[in-house]
Amino acid sequence: MRDVVEKLLELAGIQVGGPRPWDIAVHNPAWYGRVLRERSLGLGESYVEGWWDCPSLDAFFHRLLGSGAEGRLQVTFRMALRTLEHRLLNFQTRFRAWKVAYHHYDLGNDLYRAMLDPAMNYSCAYWKGARTLAEAQVNKLELTCRKLMLEPGMRLLDIGCGWGALARHAAERYGARVVGLTLSRPQKDHAEAVCAGLPVEIRLQDYRDLRDVAFDRVVSVGMFEHVGHKNYRTFMDVVRRHLAPDGVLLLHTIGGNVTRPGGDPWLAKYIFPNGELPSAAQICRAVEGRFVLEDWHAFGPDYDRTLLAWHRNFIDHWPELEHRFDPAFRRLWEYYLLSCAGAFRAREIQLWQVALSRHGIPGGLPVRDLEAPAAELVGVP
């Protein structure tokens, strides 16, 4: 087993016991068999348990995923069964949708306040012209609002509003009236606090339970990864039903290069229960007959830099968090952030902003990119 694993690592330029930042140290000889049997799940669990270490996890995953080494292994019975389950079952029903809130987003606002930018944006930043994470996140908010073509008085639906950064920005800077949806009580409480005095309503509500009149604009940033392939068409139907005839939808989501039912087993078990990355084909099938595709903007490499910034913040603020979280949680969270950074660097996963309209925007979408960096807006009310 050791020979098989080490040969696969060599294909990625990784050595066991090597001196480079992406080389690994194995502390438990049972690691080799565990990784062959359990693949992604075993690799992640054994790291959290201290069976192996690596000076630079992001560099390790960049090389491992970029090499295609895993594709040389045969599919196990457990993997085939899991794929079949995800093809047949809906893992993102109304009841199951709340699980990710309890498991992940409700871990505590102190954790996310320590890790994220001051406005607590928990999605990919846009680094063009930015020097800091805060500037890059303002860039992302500006890019999003400009693509939505927001005007004063417009009603904006924010599906998966997080801690309220986009709702606040849209209301303060563009005069929008915002309804934000979240399944997390701590997110709702924080969003209501930061949006106090603004025309913003934050609801603890599933998108499928909407009963409102039409919105002028709809946005979803970092939430579509929780929708699941069984519900992509339902999501688009709900949006279309609640979007004005001349409205615009902006979908900001992580995406996969291939259609693959179910998410990464380790991430699905420990970070985002029932999460699943859509492929471009799945998004297009869900959009077909419902919307006009106005623009598809890919900036996945920016997520690598965003995740590294979150990781630095997490490590820098760990002394403030260790009274609530044990050392195993620190290893788990580092593995989550840095493995994802490596995956984006290897272009194994992507970040897309997809602009859609109901009947087509006359003349097309006027904004494709930021005309100038929005860094000057950091901290500006």
Give the length of the chain: 381
Is 340 among the residues known to form the active site?
yes
**Which residues make beta-bridge pairs with 30?**
none
Rounded to 5 degrees, φ, ψ at 149 are 55, 50
- Go through 86-114 and write b for each residue having 16 or more CB atoms within 10 A of its CB, e for each that does not: beeeebbeeeebbbbbeebbebebebbbb
Cβ atoms of 279 and 229 within 8 Å: the answer is: no
Q: Of 54, 161, 195, 340, which one is the catalytic site residue? A: 340
Half-sphere exposure for 181 (CA within 13 Å, toward CB): 23
Half-sphere exposure for 38 (CA within 13 Å, toward CB): 15
CA-based nearest residue to 87, from 227, 225, 263, 229: 229
The three-class DSSP label of residue 325 is coil
Cα–Cα distances in angstroms (integers) from residue 33 to residues 78, 258, 328, 335, in the given order: 15, 28, 22, 20
Other beta carbons less than 10 A from residue 327's beta carbon: 11
Catalytic sites, residue numbers: 340
